[in-house]
Amino acid sequence: MQILDGKVVSQAIRDELKISVAQLVAEGRKIPHLAAVLVGNNGASETYVAAKVKACAEIGYKSTMVRLEEEITENKLLAVIEELNGDYEVDGILVQLPLPAHISDENVINAISPSKDVDGFHPVNIGRMVQGLPSFVPATPYGIMLLLEHYKVATKGMNAVVIGRSNIVGRPVSILLSNNSAPGNCTVTLCHSHTKNLESICLQADLIVAALGKPEFLVAEMVKEGAVVIDVGITRVNDTSKKSGFTLKGDVHFNSVAPKCSYITPVPGGVGPMTIAALMKNTFLACQQNS
């Protein structure tokens, strides 16, 4: 069993980007600039945005953190995005989800200029990704592909099972794994909360991507010997022994599943850091295309 180490691979990608930024500086060219919009005070969102801003600083990107109060109206938020769309200095815009219930995620995502949509959630980018055209690929699915690529996991011909069909993880992962590319060329089954016989479907899988948000859902009895397992889940579970009061759990019961796997991602230290690396790659690309 080999660990797919997202921390190490993410760092390697960020080190490469750092060198590329130094090159831009030496040539007097524009440096990538990410604007992160955070609405309200959701603890997990605060942590994610802080990690993204920190990664920008480490690589040498500019970043702007736009903090908005929980009560902001949708129209005011849309106006902020419009301003960022028109700001030549800003290459990439990300709006941290989830948004408060009174704001439509869809309206906000659709308002981001597709050329600055480094999260890859805009319908234009999703559509282009589905067609296999150059696009910003959603950061978590892109990070998973980069991880598989780094470890040269031979996915061609594999039966892949993706658990979870969200627009930000499960569905795009299923499309990328089915693409005629490497990694890719899998025969993909996309499972969700209405899937029957999930256990027997998983037992057929050479590769499983667990992205449902249910701590330790995937157990050894659902995994065949030698499978590749990618754990996307991150759930905060109460833990009084921790100073923070919680511990992070993935969707995979790591201790029982890992011994059966050829490759597996840990939580934390697997898909999470790769998401940030992928976002940084998208931001670099946006800067190249916009300047």
- Measured from the CB of residue 88, what is the shortest distance to ligand NAD in angstroms? 30
Q: Which is nearer to ligand NAD, 18 or 214 (CB)?
A: 214
Q: Are strands 62-68 and 159-163 parallel, antiparallel or unpaired?
A: unpaired
Q: Is 74 within 8 Å of 108 (Cβ atoms)?
A: yes
Between the CA of residue 243 and those of 87, 108, 238, 277, what are the distances in Å? Answer: 41, 35, 11, 28
- Give me the least distance between CB of 154 and ligand NAD, in Å please: 24
Q: Rounded distance, CA 13 to CA 3, Å?
A: 18
Minimum CB separation from ligand NAD for residue 232, in Å? 4
Q: Which position among 5, 91, 96, 281 bears the catalytic label?
A: 96
In what side-by-side order are the strands of the sheet with 187-191? 2-3, 261-264, 227-231, 207-210, 159-163, 187-191
- Known catalytic residue: 96? yes
Give the nearer residue to ligand NAD in terms of CB position, either 32 or 273: 273
Q: What are the angstrom distances between the C-alpha of 117 and each of 71, 91, 136, 278?
A: 24, 9, 7, 13
The question of whether 239 is a catalytic residue gets the answer: no
Assess whether 119 carries a catalytic annotation: yes
Closer residue to ligand NAD (CB): 31 or 217: 217
Q: Are 289 and 115 in contact (CB under 8 A)?
A: yes
Q: How far is the CB of 272 from ligand NAD (least distance, A)?
A: 4
Cβ–Cβ < 8 Å for 141, 179? no
Report the interface residues with ligand NAD, using CB under 6 A: 140, 163-166, 168-170, 191-193, 195, 198, 211-214, 232-235, 271-272, 275
Q: Compare residues 135 and 235 and give the one whose CB is closer to ligand NAD.
A: 235
Please list the residues that pair with 246 across neighbouring strands: 238
Of 95 and 211, CB closest to ligand NAD: 211
| DSSP one-letter code for 138 | P
* Candidate list 5, 91, 117, 119, residue with the active-site label: 119
CB of 261 to ligand NAD, least distance (A): 18
* Choice among 52, 116, 249, 281 that is catalytic: 52
Which residues are known catalytic residues? 52, 96, 119
